[in-house]
Chain A
Amino acid sequence: MIAPIFKQVTVSIEFQYFLAVLIGIAFGYILERAGFGNARKIAAEFYFDDFTMIKVFFTTLMVGSAGLLFFNWFGWLDLDKIFIPRTYIWGQFVGGAVLGAGFGVGGYCPGTSIVSASSGKLDGLAFVAGAFVGTMSFGDIFYDWLKGVYMGGAMGRFTLPELFGINAGVVVFFVILMGLGTFWIAEKVEKGTWDPYKKIRKEPRKIIER
């Protein structure tokens, strides 16, 4: 097992931070190119006209989960040494709901708002400011109140293969199947005429290309 590299060999902290900046540059570059600096493109996802967000999201999940599995099979990557977000059922359920509500209101998520603000979008900047206030309010104002939810349903490092009691490969297979199914539906809806918001649209429905 040669990876994770930085957990096998000692690398100076400066180099780790330097590489982090480079990885961040690639991250920001890809997000901007995908169109995530544009709130309308992200929001269009929820109005059934432009499914870019779900396509990028699921493609990343497919490539990432399958890749990690292959790395492990080849004997390169020790999956016990990588960081897997801990499961706190209530925290993630409530957090996901609050965050989802923010999507409809603000149109960005924290990462994409940073991308948007970096390219000069004032709404992105306002969103970052809001996210800063929201983040700090969690610790400063709501922590005592939300502590129960935040800590609720703690299950530690708990993965889908463990939940279903099946091989990780099978889970990834289903993830890929689900992704392909989602893409199929997304393409159908994008090209089709089905449009539940037809009556209230002020502008024609389209995919934002630039």
Chain B
Amino acid sequence: MTNIKVCQLEKALNYFDYPPELTAAEKDVMRQRKMKKHDVAIMLVHWFNAITWIFMLFTGAALIVSSFYKFAPDFYINIVRGMFETPGNLIEFHIWLGVIWIFVFLAYTIFGYRKYLRKQSLKEIPLKKSKDIFDKFKAIQCILFGNSALCLDKKDFLWLKIRLLGILGLSNEPLPPQGSFNAGQKLYGLLVALMTPIIMLTGLIMAFHLGPLWLIQWSIPIHFTAVGLVVSGLMIHVYMGAVFPEEKPAFFSMLTGNVSELFLYKHHFEYWKERIVKQCEWRKKTEPDVTLTDILPNSLAEKVMKKVEEIGDIEEEKPSEEETLPQKFWNPYFAGVMLGLLFLFTYFVYGRGLGASSFLSRTGTYLWSLIAPQYTHSHPYWSRYFHNGHTPLGNFMIFEVIGVIIGAYWSSKKARRAKIEIHKGPGISNKVRIFMAFAGGILMGLGARIARGCTSGQGLTGGVTLSVGAWLFVFVAIGIGYLSAYIFRRYWL
């Protein structure tokens, strides 16, 4: 094993389109070995959904009494109504269970989407690359789910065809191997994902009379049609999961979260391959002398070994540049809009702008006051921070800058820019750069005090409020900035 690279194994496994036959003993070993398929959260959501649907269908069918839509027999409607005593209770039960269902699903979507569904970002989805209709369809689904394991592709339609013909006894072709979900599950998933929001929305419109009359009236048939579509899929889903003998382990996996390796091997061969590669990667790290036969059955291990020898030595794939380099900076206009909105928010709430430099003078004065309180309290400039019993640290600016430190560190950490380094022009040494930065800081600190604020506190805050002095300050600072940059050009270029 130590002489096989993970990528070699991956490539060798991909030569097998269909699961090779195993001996009975090997099958037994595989049947004993369990693999985790579902998270606890997913199982909880699944069973919550199942129970809610049972109750909703049960009460919903009894709610439809208008002769145009009615499909349940009268005695059923009477029994259910009898159980709830009044029709009003029945409607309230249906509505409030529906509202709870919507809340749980909203919470699941908001908190669970990134964890359980979204495995790829929008950028990775090949939207425009292919003209093939199947690829386009897949890309649209990937935008919806953000996870290619859930999207139907060309192979899946072949699976559906063979599966259907197989059930009808017209074909005995082997099914194309499947990923973690088979095509039927994916198709049903797509149907549910499209219909659920419609059911929720029309249900809310009907229950709380949101919108004009025509909208409420149209909601009724749309609600029924959407539910009908889901139910038609639900029948197959329940039949496949609970009754159809071949898919039995899938049903139990929804209770325990685990499924036997043999089931994955036979029914989700593509997914099994992924799991084996991951297992190999992980076991190679923890047990250096693990062999291929520890992971795969003997007969299969032999076949894979042969393939590996055929492939020969290949390079381990390196993580792409995009994953190791710092992230790109934001588009400046976007950053500007965000900053503008932040200023507006601050003005809206506090009636003031943002700043930075007075953090330094306030902390400095505070430190001074610890050493020489007499001096600071009677000083013509520093005493301003003690007016009316105020303290230099008890100010918006202090807390805002503490936030800036946190926010800047958080952002740089996230963008892989947080590291100890020195930014400087190519022609100067680190020592010179540090000295220049210190000197520039002195000028900046002094200038900010003379002007009553720095680029943020005077330039931006005064700029958005159209203060005459601030606009003068901005133009002078930029103008002198260009002049000063010209003088110090050899330090930067």
Q: Is the pair A100, B483 in contact by a Cβ cutoff of 8 Å?
A: yes
* A109-B454 contact in complex given A3-B349, A138-B449, C-beta closer than 8 Å: yes
Q: Is the pair A101, B348 in contact by a Cβ cutoff of 8 Å?
A: no
Within 8 A of A (CB), among B412-428: 412-413, 415, 417-427
Q: Is the pair A46, B481 in contact by a Cβ cutoff of 8 Å?
A: yes
B362 closest partner in A (C-beta): A135
> In whole angstroms, how far apart are the Cα atoms of A51 and B329 in the complex?
13
Within 8 A of B (CB), among A176-193: 183
> In whole angstroms, how far apart are the Cα atoms of A114 and B450 in the complex?
20
Within 8 A of A (CB), among B397-417: 399-413, 415, 417
Interface magnitude class on chain B: 35 or more
**Most A-side CB within 10 Å, residue of B405, B444, B453:** B444
* A131-B468 contact in complex given A95-B449, A120-B420, C-beta closer than 8 Å: no
CB distance from A45 to the nearest CB of B (A): 8
Contact of A5 among B335, B349, B440 (CB under 8 A): B349
> In whole angstroms, how far apart are the Cα atoms of A113 and B434 in the complex?
13
Q: Is the pair B465, A82 in contact by a Cβ cutoff of 8 Å?
A: yes
B382 closest partner in A (C-beta): A139
Q: Is the pair A85, B445 in contact by a Cβ cutoff of 8 Å?
A: no
> In whole angstroms, how far apart are the Cα atoms of A83 and B332 in the complex?
27
Within 8 A of A (CB), among B2-41: none
Q: Is the pair B337, A63 in contact by a Cβ cutoff of 8 Å?
A: yes
Within 8 A of B (CB), among A89-122: 89, 91-116, 118-122
Contact with A along B450-486 (1 / 0, CB 8 A): 1111111111111111111111111111111111111
* A29-B351 contact in complex given A60-B340, A126-B438, A138-B445, C-beta closer than 8 Å: no
CB distance from B280 to the nearest CB of A (A): 34
Contact of A28 among B407, B420, B453 (CB under 8 A): B407
Q: Is the pair B443, A25 in contact by a Cβ cutoff of 8 Å?
A: no
Measured between beta carbons, the chain B residues less than 8 angstroms from A110 are 356-357, 359-360, 444-445, 448, 454-456
Q: Is the pair A130, B488 in contact by a Cβ cutoff of 8 Å?
A: no
Q: Is the pair A118, B396 in contact by a Cβ cutoff of 8 Å?
A: no
Contact of B450 among A16, A63, A104, A146 (CB under 8 A): A146
A150 closest partner in B (C-beta): B450
Q: Is the pair A127, B415 in contact by a Cβ cutoff of 8 Å?
A: no
Interface size in chain A (residues, C-beta < 8 A): 138
Contact with B along A35-46 (1 / 0, CB 8 A): 101111101011
Q: Is the pair A136, B483 in contact by a Cβ cutoff of 8 Å?
A: no
CB distance from B216 to the nearest CB of A (A): 32
**Most B-side CB within 10 Å, residue of A23, A82, A91, A200:** A23
User: B82-90, B132-140, B264-272, B320-328: which one contacts chain A?
Assistant: B320-328
Q: Is the pair A67, B466 in contact by a Cβ cutoff of 8 Å?
A: no
Measured between beta carbons, the chain B residues less than 8 angstroms from A7 are 351
* A105-B484 contact in complex given A4-B351, A37-B412, A55-B333, C-beta closer than 8 Å: yes
B430 closest partner in A (C-beta): A122
> In whole angstroms, how far apart are the Cα atoms of A152 and B493 in the complex?
38
Q: Is the pair A47, B489 in contact by a Cβ cutoff of 8 Å?
A: yes
Contact with B along A49-80 (1 / 0, CB 8 A): 00110111111111111011001000011000
Contact of A40 among B339, B365, B404, B423 (CB under 8 A): B423
CB distance from B171 to the nearest CB of A (A): 55
Measured between beta carbons, the chain B residues less than 8 angstroms from A16 are 350, 396
**Most A-side CB within 10 Å, residue of B401, B408, B439, B492:** B408
> In whole angstroms, how far apart are the Cα atoms of A138 and B442 in the complex?
10
Q: Is the pair B342, A23 in contact by a Cβ cutoff of 8 Å?
A: yes
Q: Is the pair B400, A23 in contact by a Cβ cutoff of 8 Å?
A: yes
Measured between beta carbons, the chain A residues less than 8 angstroms from B449 are 95, 134-135, 138-139
Measured between beta carbons, the chain B residues less than 8 angstroms from A18 are 399
Measured between beta carbons, the chain B residues less than 8 angstroms from A94 are 447, 450-451
Within 8 A of A (CB), among B158-172: none
> In whole angstroms, how far apart are the Cα atoms of A40 and B369 in the complex?
37
> In whole angstroms, how far apart are the Cα atoms of A40 and B329 in the complex?
13
* A155-B484 contact in complex given A6-B350, A99-B444, C-beta closer than 8 Å: no
**Most A-side CB within 10 Å, residue of B364, B435, B442:** B442
Q: Is the pair B493, A60 in contact by a Cβ cutoff of 8 Å?
A: no
A8 closest partner in B (C-beta): B351
Q: Is the pair A89, B472 in contact by a Cβ cutoff of 8 Å?
A: yes
> In whole angstroms, how far apart are the Cα atoms of A4 and B347 in the complex?
7
Q: Is the pair A27, B354 in contact by a Cβ cutoff of 8 Å?
A: yes
Measured between beta carbons, the chain A residues less than 8 angstroms from B463 are 60-61, 64-65
Measured between beta carbons, the chain B residues less than 8 angstroms from A158 are 467-469
Q: Is residue B231 contacting chain A, with contact meaning CB distance below 8 A? A: no
New A-B pairs, 19, CB < 8 Å, besides A21-B403, A210-B325: A4-B350, A5-B349, A25-B406, A25-B410, A30-B342, A46-B484, A59-B337, A68-B465, A83-B351, A85-B453, A87-B469, A91-B469, A96-B472, A97-B476, A106-B440, A110-B444, A111-B454, A132-B360, A150-B450
Chain B residues engaging chain A, CB cutoff 8 angstroms: 325-330, 332-333, 335-357, 359-361, 363-365, 368, 379-382, 394, 396, 399-413, 415, 417-427, 433-490, 492-493
A-B contact pairs, 9 of them (CB 8 A): A28-B407, A46-B484, A59-B336, A93-B476, A94-B450, A95-B452, A110-B359, A114-B356, A131-B442
